[in-house]
Chain A
Amino acid sequence: MNEWLDPLLLSRWQFGLTTVYHFLFVPITIGMALTVALFQTAWVRTNKEKYLQLTKFFGKLFLINFAMGVVTGIVQEFQFGMNWSDYSRFVGDVFGAPLAMEGLLAFFFEATFIGLWIFGWDKLPRGLHLATIWATAVGTILSAYFIIAANAFMQNPVGYDINEAKGRAELTDIWALLTNKVALAAFPHTIFACFMVAAGLIVTVAAWHLSRNQHLDTMRPALKFGLWMMMIAGALTVFTGDSLGLAMVQTQPMKMAAAEAMYTTATGADASFSVFTLGTPDGVSELFSIRIPYLLSFLSTHTFDGTVEGINDLQAQYVQLYGPGDYTPTIWVTYWAFRWMIGLGLLHIVVAFVGLILTRRKSALGARLLAGRWSRWIWKAAIWSFPLSLGAMIMGWIFTEMGRQPWLVFGLLKTADGVSPNVSGLEVLISLIAFTLIYGTLAVVEFKLIKKAAQKGPDDLPEPHPETGVRRQETTVY
């Protein structure tokens, strides 16, 4: 058979592409639900019009993105059965439970209350309407927990036994599954990163308007809010990333070694963090590198004299444990994805930090810089916040999932053994092309629509009733 029609390779590409695509919308949904809820709460408590305008404005951006999140999410759930049926048979007893819990306990909740929020402006009392956006925000975060718990099982399987007769993993302890230490570490890291992405979106939009000197009354507070959220969420993402790194070293040492492209085990100063390395094309020897001594030891063990295992030693261990085979992920992918994640994330925090200094109320430096010839570049940097944060997020997931390879469930099932045996390469090629075409087209439409709505800026509110002074809530329709 033609090697291009390898169902395994094509299924991996399809799962990777559709997952990355789905996850462009997920962090915006999670982060923006909370943000919109905060703006609306500010409006309900202070009655200031600018907060209502911000609620409606960012609410609109949130909604354009929401439908895509839902419809691409169904694809994710179906693909386990469609392309990975042997995986589904092997882990369904364990892995299905958190997915079903997500649906029953969180996603229904989220999908129902988002509808009530969008269309309920003129149908629900003010307080109850506010509660619906909070319910949506809680639903999105709860959803994320169950999905991450399911994913954590693939990284670090716990709470199961192997049933030899049935040839599958069976759940023995739901609590252990839900409190998997990888889940406990990955959940806050992911959620704070989602808040970073939402903050990035707010800063991008606000900076775009402010650099054109328009919508000042709403976009000034939005910028300030966005910068603070970027700063706080960014710092929390770094801290939680650190604890996720520790959990990763304990459960998947190969992933950390692959993140560093570190072939030999090293201790103390030798366990250095490589900032940038140029190697020979075969990746075996190094031409040039910038390294920070001790840092990798600290990141992996929180001590300066820790030992970090190298790829070659781990490979030898795994051969002993699991039999002959290649247990190394694709090193250049993990190495660069890890660096891009950290680099983009840190850059994002720098933008927030500089932004907060420049926009301080009595900052003479800020006033001078923003009036001077650097101003154009400062605004440009702020406008790039959103792609920076989204890029960091995507790189993080690529690292985490590619670093798990060749395992589908670490130590239990290899990716090659999970693919559907009865789905042909041609069928997967058809679906891969179909998804690529449709997702690609929709990405263009989606981007144009969000851009258009964002550039239009907040709408003016309708005039209050001349006698009563009450402003009627508008009806929302498609």
Chain B
Amino acid sequence: MSNQNGRFGIHGGQYIPETLMNAVIELEEAYNHYKNDPEFNKELETLFNEYAGRPSRLYYAEKMTKDLGGAKIYLKREDLNHTGAHKINNVLGQALLAKKMGKTRLIAETGAGQHGVATATAAALMGMECVVFMGEEDTRRQALNVYKMKLLGAEVVPVTTGTATLKDAVSEAMREWTSRISDTHYCLGSVMGPHPFPTIVRDFQAVISKEIKEQILKKEGRLPDVVMACVGGGSNAIGTFYNFIEDKEVQLIGCEAAGRGVDTFETAATIATGKLGIFHGMKSYFCQDEYGQIAPVYSISAGLDYPGIGPEHAYLNDIGRTQYVPVTDDEAVNAFEYLSRTEGIIPAIESSHALAHAMKIAPSMDKDKIIVITISGRGDKDCAAIARYRGENINE
């Protein structure tokens, strides 16, 4: 979808310090070479299948379907991947690419910790050094993931600047990259940042929609009516949408984190409340004030707690191909509990945003309609926070 300069319509681009320009150019050249290299693709496929456990299941949620009484609901189980989320798809791709480029050190930002854990995992597997930047606030919200990263041999750097969440972790990882480029690859975790990251990450995540398409055709003999996923930066969503973009009859819905509501300041719903801007290397939509200062966004979900959205999503929104809807903390927590009770699947609080919206639209849809929801990750990491949200204190 992107043109040569990494633009998706007016979005995207490379708004980064001169110090990093040759690094992203080198990355783009390497990627353009390896993406067509049969040996690279074979190695990656083996890692996907043998290590990450792909293809992930497309599960017919029969009880949920019957309970809601409308459209037939399928869950794309990215939560069953190794490390428990879709993040591993992108990380295995980038780590392999970095290794081919001769890099020996991976750095990454993380919000909920899933991308950090995935990066630490790939680094351990491939014998690379790993440093993960994580907002201090998030290190508290996701203490278990911090432990896992350390266990996997990574160094975790708590970021105390700004709101001490995902955006600050991205800023700090970018700062680190400018200070050490020759041996270091910045393993960006979402379809954001400067070109070529939004394209590279999307390509590695596109395996999700490639599989959904094959699996649903096999099970139902037709394409789904609605495909949906949660959106922060938007990597699991773009992976879920990508191979359906040309199938105009398939409705694509991205679910943003509205936090305490889009009419409050405590929200992270970028399409609903943001405006066009330039930040973190890209032109896209961002939550910001009238002077362009980036807003201190909020969501119960550390993984969606980001003031921007990937440039390809911004473009899909502009052309009306994809619809973006806000989902509040409360709705997401209800969906988190609902899926656990109904299907015996504990979803990540991020993915619960998509589930919540499905719960709103499914009942009024005909029974012969099909919805596919990507469960981007598992919810173990969220149990303590959801318990707290419900006023219960559990010792993790």
Q: Do A and B bind each other?
A: no
Which of B's residues lie within 8 Å of A, judged by CB? Answer: none
